[in-house]
Chain A
């Protein structure tokens, strides 16, 4: 099913923005180096949202670090269309806001190309009343939202999301996904979403890559049916159930 619908990069080379080919990535462990990614390949099109789903500790976060350029010690190639790394906005697993700067200052510090648009983003994500608070005064859900606002503020061509809603209660997580989908509708960009929750992946992504555990490689590709995309977690769970 997935194979037939796989987006053939060769067929439409113009639309591909990112070609990932990680032959091997090792990390230092207590008993010598451990291979966390092996022979992992996929492509990403412009404005396409791809979810990377796999068990915890399978190397998803490492893969995002490699793609984001934070980790350059690996065998393989991260090839961007035009050969230039595009503007990337990252939402880490923890919000990673600077606690000594207010929410507004945190966003200003990543140099949004359009400060007025950044302010509109705060409004859109329901953060405007909290803009002058320091992050320690925010709830985790709010801080996550601020981290999403910061990533969108740079007007990225690619968004890297690393389990952006982990450890939130279901209601807060759903609210977070709604916020994300809202931001997406107004500012289109490609995105790589790392999650271990297939229903979440189904509710947000266009295409899903299932990864195997250690070392990570793509074991299956699922294209989310057009009509079920971004219809909330209930629809996501329904589609996910059909695939498992």
Chain B
């Protein structure tokens, strides 16, 4: 007697769920679910800009046209390409050195003690100060631009990876030693898999940070790249140009997230 109403409710709930599932079926195809909000955003932007009708807030279609123009002239590819190359270099330097530093600080207490305040200091150094000082001391060049950006990301990578290195499972490392696994094998099969979550965290936040700081470094000391272009448009008060480059930039970052970071992360987490 008591079980029956409960059973019926459960069935009804199940069928409602089923209905929602069928309705949302198309959304379950990941790409649709991702693209719809973007479309809505673009449409809202277009509508709002047309209603306001100001030169300082151009509609989406105008920005797209500007983007097409830049793409056809080849300057979009050039500027995006050079910025992308700088991001890649700074990212690689910051990740490799930051990871090495983080592992050393996490594993050896004396390294941690010696470098802790330095890393905390660097972590809190405003990006602008680091860039300006490196430019002043070492000159305006590609290398100093990349170094100044990497310097901004390095301490946060080190701090994140240090947490991972502290949390390493000593039992598994002992196991590896007892079976006389070589250094390389221990690193590859025992240590790195434990650090992956921390490395992905550092990579994701690092990419976001480096994108932003590379533009500042370009604005201050380079004569090409997205940062330089935005400075030019700023001086001309050309909001359309600024938005066109911003848009291109956002698309590239999203594509990297979808095509590189997420598949890599999925592969690393396969065993879970």
Contact = CB atoms under 8 A, between A and B. Distances in A.
A110 B179 contact: yes
Counting chain B CB atoms within 10 Å of each CB, the highest count among A65, A98, A111 belongs to A98
A65 B173 CA distance: 13
Contacts, number: 45
Contacts of B272: 136
B251 to A, nearest CB: 33
Contacts of A90: 175, 178-179
A136 B171 contact: no
Contacts of B179: 89-90, 109-111, 150, 154
Contacts of A92: 171, 174-175
Contact of B185 (A96, A109, A136): A109
B172 interface: yes
A101 interface: yes
A70 interface: yes
B28 interface: no
A88 interface: yes
B69 interface: no
A123 to B, nearest CB: 21
A69 B178 CA distance: 7
B178 A98 contact: no
Interface of A: 65, 68-70, 88-90, 92, 94, 96, 98-101, 109-111, 134, 136, 150, 154, 160
20 contacts: A65-B174, A68-B178, A69-B177, A70-B178, A89-B179, A90-B179, A94-B171, A96-B175, A98-B172, A98-B189, A99-B271, A100-B193, A100-B268, A100-B271, A109-B179, A109-B185, A109-B189, A110-B181, A150-B179, A160-B178
Interface of B: 171-172, 174-175, 177-179, 181, 185, 189-190, 193, 268, 270-272
